[in-house]
Structure 1
C-alpha cells in the first residue's frame, strides 16, 4: 500500500498504481498539458482503469525498471507477471515499488475482518467532525529547499505466476519512509527488504525521463481551492456526479492527495467536505487501522473491494487507508484486508534521508 505518481503512475510502464489525469483546462495545477489522443483524455483514462481492474496481471518486465512515483499508497491496479516473477497486486505501495522474486518476498497471514456495512446515515455529521479536526491541525510549511517526511506502516497484496500457476499473498506490515521536495521533483524512498529496493534506499529525483507531472506535490496541493464545490468540480475532470466511474475517479484522486503528503489544514478540510458530496461514498462506523486503533471510515465500493480512509473514532484525526475484499477473490475470502497503511509521522526536514530528530538513515 504505499504510493506515488510521475512516469510512476502508468501501469503500462510497469507501475503498480494508476493515477488518473485531471483535466488541464479546468485544473492546470494538477496536470501538464495533454496531448491529442484518439479518445478524450478522461475516456482514455477510464478505459485504462477498467482494463487494469479486470485483468489483475499484465505484461512481462524483462529487466528491472527504475520505478518511481510520488504519492500514497494505494489504488486498484493489476500487474502482469512473467513465469516465476512477482508483482504488486490490487493494492500496492507508491514510489519505488518493484517486482521481486518470490523467494525474497515475505508473507503474512491475511487479516480477515468482519465486514461492517457502509451507510449514508450519519455521513454528513461524521465528515463535519473530520473536517473540523483537520482544520485545527498545526500547519507544516516547508521551504523550497526542505523536504516533506512521511513515515508509514504498510502492507499490500502481491501475486506470482509460475508457469501458469497463480499464487497471491499479503506482505507483512513493514516500515516505509519517504522524503519529497515541495515541488515534487526530488525525493528518496527507504523501504529495505521489500521489492527490489536497495537496502540503502532509492533516489526519486526527476531525471531525463521525468514527466514533470507533479500534481500531488505539496505546491500543487497548497494551490488547490478550499471551496468544496469548486474543488470537487475540478476533481471530476469533466465527469458527472452519479456516473460510478467518474465518482470513483474523484474519490480516488482525493485519496491520492491524502497519501504521503502534507497539506494546509484548510485544504485538508475542503478535501473531506468534497468527498462527502460524491455519490456512493458511505460511512463505515466500525473499523481499525493497520496499527489496530479503532476508527470510523469514509469508504467507496468499486467492484469486489471497498476502499476506506480511516479516522480515529474519538479525535477524528486521519490514521490511514485500507482496502477490503467484499467478495472472494485471489483465493481469499470476503473481509480480507488486501492493502493497508497507517501514518506514523509527518514532518518537515532539511535534507533527504534526514529524520525529524536530526539523525540520518
Structure 2
C-alpha cells in the first residue's frame, strides 16, 4: 500500500471537519513530529514511528481539510441540497424492484439517539392487522377495521369504517413534477408548506415501501422545495455519518425550534434517517411480530 492508497483508506473512515480547525491541528501535528524526532534517535524506531506519523498526518489532513482542498473522499464539502437529493434519487432508482407478496408485512426498525427505539409491522396490502411496538393496528377488510388501543374496553375490537392503507405503495407518481403536485395537494395551503412536505417525504422514505421510480421521484420532488439547506457533516440517530438536508421551520416558530434534517450517506447517498432517528432495518417479513 502506497501513500495515496493509505490516504484513500483513511478518507473512507474519517469525516471532514471545518476548515478553520485545520491550522491549529497542523501546528499540533508538526510539534508532535518535532518531539518525536528528538526523542527517538534510533533509526529502526523512527521508521516505525514514521509509519504511525504518516497515518496520523493523513488522518489530520483528511479529518480537518475540506474535501475540495484535500482531493480525496466523496466531495460533499459545501454540499448542495439539489445535487444531494438528485444523487439520492439516482441511488433509489437502482434498488431492486421485486414487489412483496400481499400477505407479507413491512418491518421497519428505527433507532433514536435517545431510546426507546421503534419497531413497526405494516400490512403490505393493508388488510391484515399490524403492530406499532406492542400496539395493534387494525387491518381493513371489506370496508371494516377493528379498533385497538382505545383505552376503552367497550370499544376494543369494535369495527369501524375504513379504507385499506397498504405499506407497499403502487399508487404514487413516478416523475418529479407529479410527485411534487401530490405532496403539495396533500399538505394543502397551510403556512410553512416546506416543513410539512419534508415530514411527508421522511414518512414515505422511512416507513413506506415504494417502487424504485417513485422513490426517485420523491427525492427529485424534494429537491424542488424552496428553502432547503445542506449540512456537510452530520450523523443520524444511530451515529452514522452523512450529509444533511434541512427543511425549514414554519413561519413564527420559536428560535429554539429544531428543523428536521434528513441524513443521506455521503458516498452512496442512500437515505439513512434524520439527525434524531436512523432507519436501521427495513425489509419484508412473513408474520406480524417477526424480526429478520
Alpha-carbon shift at residue 187 of structure 1 (Å): 0.7
Question: Do residues 268 (structure 1) and 212 (structure 2) align?
Answer: no
Alpha-carbon shift at residue 239 of structure 1 (Å): 7.3
Contact 2:80 2:229 in 1 (8 A): no
Q: 1:213 to 1:276 in 2, by over 3 A?
A: farther
Alpha-carbon shift at residue 291 of structure 1 (Å): 1.6
When normalised by structure 1's length, the TM-score is 0.48
Question: What are the superposed Cα offsets for residues 125-168 of structure 1, whole Å, 9 maximum, x if unpaired?
Answer: 2122111111112235221111111122135xxxxxxxxxxxxx
Give the corresponding residue for 2:245.
298
Q: Which structure 2 segments of 5+ residues have no match? A: 1-76, 139-144, 147-157
Contact 1:184 1:218 in 2 (8 A): yes
Question: What are the superposed Cα offsets for residues 192-232 of structure 1, whole Å, 9 maximum, x if unpaired?
Answer: xxxxxxxxx222124146563656x334x321111111111
Question: Do residues 203 (structure 1) and 123 (structure 2) align?
Answer: no
Q: 1:211 to 1:267 in 2, by over 3 A?
A: farther
Could you tell me how far apart the structure 2 residues matched to 1:177 and 1:239 are?
26
Q: How many pairs were matched up? A: 192
Give the corresponding residue for 1:251.
198
Question: Do residues 341 (structure 1) and 277 (structure 2) align?
Answer: yes
Alpha-carbon shift at residue 292 of structure 1 (Å): 1.2
Contact 2:109 2:117 in 1 (8 A): yes
Contact 2:79 2:232 in 1 (8 A): no
When normalised by structure 2's length, the TM-score is 0.59
The alignment yields a C-alpha RMSD, in angstroms, of 2.7
Alpha-carbon shift at residue 316 of structure 1 (Å): 0.9
Q: Secondary structure at the match of 1:144?
A: coil
Q: Secondary structure at the match of 2:181?
A: helix
Question: Do residues 236 (structure 1) and 200 (structure 2) align?
Answer: no
Counterpart selection for 1:174 from 116, 120, 134 = 116
Give the corresponding residue for 1:218.
167
Q: 1:343 to 1:282 in 2, by over 3 A?
A: same
Give the corresponding residue for 1:81.
none
Q: 1:282 to 1:188 in 2, by over 3 A?
A: same
Q: Secondary structure at the match of 2:117?
A: strand
Q: Secondary structure at the match of 2:192?
A: helix
Give the corresponding residue for 1:126.
84
Could you tell me how far apart the structure 1 residues matched to 2:205 and 2:162 are?
20
Give the corresponding residue for 2:8.
none
Q: Secondary structure at the match of 1:174?
A: coil
Alpha-carbon shift at residue 270 of structure 1 (Å): 0.7
Q: Secondary structure at the match of 2:92?
A: helix
Question: What are the superposed Cα offsets for residues 2-27 of structure 1, whole Å, 9 maximum, x if unpaired?
Answer: xxxxxxxxxxxxxxxxxxxxxxxxxx
Higher helix share: 2
Could you tell me how far apart the structure 1 residues matched to 2:179 and 2:78 are?
21
Alpha-carbon shift at residue 259 of structure 1 (Å): 2.4
Contact 1:140 1:348 in 2 (8 A): no
Q: 1:140 to 1:298 in 2, by over 3 A?
A: farther
Contact 1:228 1:273 in 2 (8 A): yes
Q: 1:275 to 1:354 in 2, by over 3 A?
A: same
Could you tell me how far apart the structure 1 residues matched to 2:241 and 2:196 are?
27
Give the corresponding residue for 1:163.
none
